[in-house]
Chain A
């Protein structure tokens, strides 16, 4: 692609055929990279991460260099970027797989009926402790947060889409909802703390405070996703209903909401999945306890994420007759609780997406 181009009318014919790397070239370079890096790793005693990094470097450097000598600069640059992009893909999958594997590996042995039904009351050292109180706490706090957030979020979205279009109030609300999405979770917790401390004094800790903090985080998510779903409902549908003499509020209740229901449910479930794993706000206002507490409004209440945090930072004592090097028992419990939490969150996510797909608004 480099023959001289002369003036008009005398243009030399450029050859279309240029040397190209064979189609198996990337595969060959990859194999060589793996082989060479593997050899080095064995000789120098590297672990898997070092082996992977060197393989990637050899591949990303090797293929473009080969291409440069055959295909020229432009071809080499193109190959380089392709190699980098594929490397990014290779790396993308690693964290999730590694994390899930670690949680499963460490947490699965912990899970049994007792773990799920005992709490930590009077548990010493490696007695059988459990997460029952944490599960109850999580369910109660999140349920209360949902009870506050879903109606508020739903009606706020209804206002923004159905009643307030273009008004100054709507613009302010949209702006503030945007601000709310950016609140760091610990600040939401501090707000709940400040609120209740002002009313009840500095020692106050209660589960409901956690619900208040979580609502602050949930409401913007519910508003945004509901708004999107409501906007998807075509105006023709609304106008057809008005034309039949149906009042506005009935139209919304019987026509608009049912049409977008699937998407709204998805949005709500995703919001719940988001806040169910929040630690910082609960740490601050709901506190921690070892026993089951069914009362949102009295005393501390442990949730799963907080349980994991304290089990990790205060893992208890190793039994004095344990072999040297045994981990403190709280660590294993933390992994077990983490596994349970991940299962809950993933289940919510998958169900939410499935619901969304089943009830998707069919666009003409």
Chain B
């Protein structure tokens, strides 16, 4: 809604100038953001693209870019999937607890505690993971080696320090738990009362009511929450870099001393002594990471948009 200038005999040139300047500032800020993002792409490309073609020594232990970044991508996805596998069931359970099971007096503090978890900086998680959690998980990992060693994930031999990709996965899981829980519990709480009551009136138990009314309503929201959590886990650097001493390897073994590095952790641990050539390579891997997380986030939003269109029929 714009002000009408002809109705105001007092409309001064200063007023119009003020409006123009202000509007210009606002628009300028928007354009600045456009420019910033364009700059991100351009600079990363300029510095990073040459990294695809450097001498083979830069891709140790391999000898060209694609396998190098391929292994790092594997490590990134592997660690993120471990984190998801642990975080998602707990996040859904906690979200259900807050929205449907807990007495009001308990639901609010629990939600608050989970949100506080999101405030802890990643480097503190990394420190705690490397110094405390890894030691605490050694007995469990030894147990897995003994009793589940036939499964490739637990082939072992179990690391004595506990600094394994499993531990890193647990730390990542704790870090992405808050965002998945926060989105999912919002959606659960917004289930239309009408459908919950329809299920209850048919003689459904609480769990049956949740299956009939809550989950169908929340399905796409849950998917998008999980994907946002995945995006967060893919980009996380410090937790993995501090817990693991890793290198670009491909392995399913979660509890041994040989751990796959992620793109982000590899950059963090290699860049300090990196030659300019190696720096290019690292930036190139960063571009790959960016593209990948962008694709995941984009898919998450597409899922939400599609279901919103379906619900508003």
Indicate whether A and B are direct neighbours in the complex (CB within 8 Å).
yes
Please, how many angstroms separate the alpha-carbon atoms of A176 and B35 in the complex?
10
With known contacts A74-B205, A183-B290, A202-B276, A93–B113 Cβ distance under 8 A: yes
Interface residue A341 (Cβ < 8 Å from any Cβ of B): yes
Given A155-B28, A181-B297, output 18 extra A-B contacts at Cβ < 8 Å.
A88-B92, A89-B97, A92-B177, A95-B174, A96-B120, A99-B125, A156-B30, A158-B26, A163-B27, A179-B297, A186-B268, A202-B276, A219-B36, A245-B10, A248-B19, A279-B238, A312-B126, A312-B127
Question: Does B44 count as interface, using CB distance less than 8 angstroms?
Answer: yes
Q: Are A249 and B235 in contact (CB under 8 A)?
A: no
A27-35, A112-120, A166-174, A260-268: which one contacts chain B? A166-174
Stretch at the interface among A3-11, A121-129, A193-201: A193-201
**CB pair A313 B93 closer than 8 Å:** no
Q: Does A242 have its Cβ within 8 Å of any Cβ on chain B?
A: yes
9 contacts between A and B (CB under 8 A): A92-B113, A96-B116, A155-B29, A183-B235, A194-B46, A194-B48, A248-B23, A280-B238, A338-B127
Closest residue to A203 on the B side, CB-wise?
B276
Closest residue of chain A to B237, judged by CB? A280
Within 8 A of B (CB), among A81-120: 81-82, 84-89, 91-93, 95-96, 98-99, 102-103, 106
Please indicate the chain B residues that have their CB under 8 angstroms from the CB of A301 in the complex.
none
Interface residues of A in 326-348 (CB under 8 A from B): 331, 334-335, 338, 341-342, 345-346
Q: Which residue of chain A lies nearest to B140 when distances are taken between CB atoms in the complex?
A: A49
A345 with B207: in contact, given A159-B27, A159-B30, A194-B47 (CB under 8 Å)?
A: no
What residues of chain A lie closer than 8 Å to B293, measured between beta carbons? 182-184
Per the bound structure, the CA–CA distance linking A308 and B124 in Å amounts to: 8
| B15-50 Cβ-contact flags toward A at 8 Å (1 or 0) | 110110111011111101110110110011011100
Task: Please report the C-alpha to C-alpha distance between residue A341 and residue B210 in the assembled complex, in whole angstroms.
Answer: 41
- B150 is an interface residue with CB less than 8 A from chain A: no
Is A185's CB within 8 Å of the partner chain B? Answer: yes
B25 and A155 form a contact (CB under 8 A)? yes
The answer to the question of A66 belonging to the interface, with a C-beta cut-off of 8 Å to chain B, is: no
**What size tier do the contact residues of chain A reach?**
35 or more
- Among residues of A, the one whose C-beta sits closest to the C-beta of B282 is A190
By the criterion CB–CB under 8 Å, are A85 and B43 in contact?
no
CA gap between A308 and B241 in the complex, in Å: 13
Contacts of A235 in B (CB 8 A): 1
**B251-304 residues at the A interface, CB under 8 angstroms:** 264, 267-268, 271, 276, 279, 282-283, 286-287, 289-290, 293-294, 296-297, 301
Residues on B lying within 8 angstroms of A by beta carbon are: 1-3, 8, 10-11, 15-16, 18-19, 21-23, 25-30, 32-34, 36-37, 39-40, 43-44, 46-48, 89-90, 92-94, 96-97, 101-102, 106, 110, 113-114, 116-117, 119-128, 130-132, 136, 139-140, 174, 177, 205-208, 210, 231, 234-238, 241-242, 264, 267-268, 271, 276, 279, 282-283, 286-287, 289-290, 293-294, 296-297, 301
B268 & A283 in contact (Cβ 8 Å cutoff):
yes
Q: Is residue A247 within 8 Å, beta carbon to beta carbon, of the partner chain?
A: yes
| Chain B residues positioned under 8 Å from A162 (CB to CB) | 26
Q: Is the CB of B10 within 8 A of A179?
A: no
B97 contact from A86, A197, A216, Cβ within 8 A: A86
Could you tell me the distance in whole angstroms from the C-beta of B17 to the nearest C-beta in chain A? 10
Q: 1/0 per position for A212-244, CB-CB distance to B under 8 A?
A: 000010010001000000000001001100100
Interface of B is mostly: helix
Compute the total of residue contacts between A and B using a CB distance below 8 Å.
278
Contact with B along A55-87 (1 / 0, CB 8 A): 000000000000000000011011001101111
**Bound-state Cα–Cα, A102 to B134, Å:** 13
Residue among A103, A178, A198, A249 with the highest chain B CB neighbour number at 10 A: A249
A309 at the A/B interface (Cβ < 8 Å)? Answer: yes
8 Å CB contact of B30 from A170, A273, A342: A170
Q: Contact between B33 and A93 (Cβ–Cβ < 8 Å)? A: no
Q: Is A47 an interface residue (CB 8 A)?
A: yes
**Are B119 and A345 neighbours in the complex by a CB distance under 8 Å?**
yes
- Nearest CB of A to B167, in Å: 13
Given A78-B206, A194-B43, A346-B119, the answer on whether A312 and B128 have CB atoms closer than 8 Å is: no
Q: Is B267 touching A242 in the complex (CB atoms < 8 A)?
A: no
How near does chain B come to A17, taking the closest CB pair, in angstroms? 15
Do A186 and B124 form a contact, CB below 8 Å, given A164-B30, A176-B34, A191-B43?
no
Contact present for B43 and A198 (CB under 8 Å): yes
Cα–Cα distance between A279 and B276 once the two chains are bound (Å): 22
Question: Smallest distance from the beta carbon of A312 to chain B beta carbons, Å?
Answer: 6
CB B46 to nearest CB in A, in angstroms, measures 7
* A278 at the binding interface (Cβ < 8 Å): yes
A277-B121 contact in complex given A152-B29, A159-B26, A159-B29, C-beta closer than 8 Å: yes
B8 to A: closest C-beta gap in Å:
5
B18 contacts which chain A residues (CB < 8 A)?
Answer: 247, 249-250
Residues of B within 8 A of A135 (CB): none
> Contact: A187 with B289, CB < 8 Å?
yes
**What's the nearest-Cβ distance from chain B to residue A2, in Å?**
13
Contacts of B139 in A (CB 8 A): 47, 49-50
B268–A341 touching, CB < 8 Å: no
Known A178-B301, A312-B127; contact A187-B286, beta-carbon cutoff 8 A: yes
B205 to chain A, nearest CB (A): 4
Chain A minimum-CB-distance residue to B170: A95
Q: Is A180 an interface residue (CB 8 A)?
A: yes
